[in-house]
Amino acid sequence: MTDFVWSIDDAGSGGEVPIQATRRFARFLESRDLRATWLVVPKPNGQPLSAEWLAVLREARDNGHDLQLHGLTHEDCFEFGPPVWPATSINPAFESTFAQRRNELISRYTVANLRARIEEGQEIFRRELEIEPVLFRAPCGAISQAMFNALAQVGIRYHSCQYISGTGYEHLTHNSGDLTPVWTDAIPHSPFHWYADVVEAPILGEYTWRGAGTRSAEFVELARKDVTRIVTESQVAVILMHTHGIADDFDHACRVVDGVLEMVAGLGDHRFNTLDKLIASGALDVAATGTGPDSLLI
């Protein structure tokens, strides 16, 4: 049996458009008896969470959604480590930007620096949301060994940012346009123990990045193919969305959810869940059978 998770990034960040999309999409999920794990930026661009965001987030929490940490400020895509695929497939300029700022950025990645950023986020969650975060997702998947050590030191034992497939970004104009599913073999396809014994819950893929709605039926089909395969390989499958991707084409995001729901229902006895519940029940630990590769250079 596989537990599927809808994980939605960048809550807390941006103005009226993502705020309204978040509220509307939370209601849509609830209409399907679903809840999401929302990855919240606790101090977006260095500013406190707005009153409007806090209202939406508290409402989501009270309706049974899961809120977890997504960096601290998310001011750039290098907050916790150097840029990696598939962020570099979304924005190839990340590589050259990082190269230009290399000395400044590399000096960020110490356990003490990154621990202070995570602790500040934890304090904001406790104070503003009355939540003790149990999982972290680094902005843009940019990670470092120091980040994992910092997470372990503050007692956060779960992380989620490694992708099984980046096919969901092939529609972008600088990419191939080919939506045939391609899965990486660089990481295990089920949750795994990684640096500092943090459990990594890999991301299956994303089907709602900006522009995906113009090829909606193909993206729904891609999602259906991915979920059909993952139930044969993992007990936990994390699907990624972004608040701005949902806002970009709200109806497409809803079609992806309904397409996946219908497919999963036909595949046997599977469930939809949130990461906090899978962590609390021990299911994420049970699913984490393997060990990740020693692939991080710093």
CA distances from 130 to 65, 123, 124 (A): 14, 9, 9
The 10 Å Cβ neighbour count of residue 172 is 17
| Cβ distance to Zn ion smaller for residue 39 or 222 | 39
Residue 139 in contact with Zn ion, rule: CB under 5 A? yes
| Cβ distance to Zn ion smaller for residue 79 or 231 | 79
- Name the 3-class secondary structure at 6: strand
Which amino acid type is present at position 240?
Answer: L
CB of 241 to Zn ion, least distance (A): 11
Residue 9 in contact with Zn ion, rule: CB under 5 A? yes
**For Zn ion, which residue of 10, 206, 226, 248 counts as binding (CB under 5 A)?**
10
| Cβ distance to Zn ion smaller for residue 13 or 216 | 13
CB of 265 to Zn ion, least distance (A): 30
Its sign, for the CA torsion 107, 112, 116, 122, is: positive
CB of 138 to Zn ion, least distance (A): 9
CB of 141 to Zn ion, least distance (A): 9
| Token pair of 124 as six digits | 């904001």
Residue 206 in contact with Zn ion, rule: CB under 5 A? no
CB of 139 to Zn ion, least distance (A): 5
Name which of residues 48 to 77 contact Zn ion (CB under 5 A).
none
The phi-psi region of residue 124 (left if phi > 0; otherwise alpha if psi is between -120 and 50; otherwise beta) is: alpha
| Cβ distance to Zn ion smaller for residue 225 or 244 | 244
Distance CA 160, CA 238 (A): 8
| Token pair of 270 as six digits | 């599977």
Interface residue list for Zn ion (CB under 5 A): 9-10, 139
